[in-house]
Amino acid sequence: MTAERYISTLELDASAEATPWARRHVRDVLSAWQVTVEHIDTAELAVCELVSNAVQHVAPDAPDARVTLTLRHDESQLIAEVSDPSDHPPVPSTATSKDAESGRGLFIVGEISKEWDYYLLPTGGKVVWCVIALG
């Protein structure tokens, strides 16, 4: 018997409004998929960091750019993917100050997810993804 699989996709402008829309989408979709609140909170944080990172690094170079959020769910995990038109790989960094407001996004994703990585698309751009264990 194969596990039931759910997929949801949302395309967003690479703008400041992308992150709140992504957050709302994650909460609504995962609630409909009956994912626990604890896992929804974790996924919401991870997705917000991935979307924010994509917007921050894509928007200055391409003001009309889009990012795409894809959620894939099976019985044991959630995979969140954020694609953008940039070929530049994500670079994890640590903020230099405890008070820094940015620079920790991929570090946070790495801490709250089972794993994360990225791949380049043959048509250009990249996908940054993470896996949230639901067990």
Q: Would you kindly state where each structural domain of the chain is located, as residue ranges?
A: 6-133
From first to last of its 135 residues, what are the pLDDT tens digits of the chain? 445 589 999 999 999 899 999 999 999 999 999 999 999 999 999 999 999 999 988 866 676 799 999 999 988 999 999 999 999 898 887 655 454 455 578 999 999 999 999 999 999 999 999 999 997
Q: What is the pLDDT of residue 91?
A: 84
pTM > 0.85: yes
Among 69, 60, 57, 58, residue whose Cα is nearest residue 26? 69
CATH number of 6-133: 3.30.565.10
Phi (first) and psi of residue 115, to 5 degrees? -165, 160
Return the percentage of the chain with pLDDT > 70, whole number.
Answer: 87
Among 42, 61, 60, 48, residue whose Cα is nearest residue 17? 48
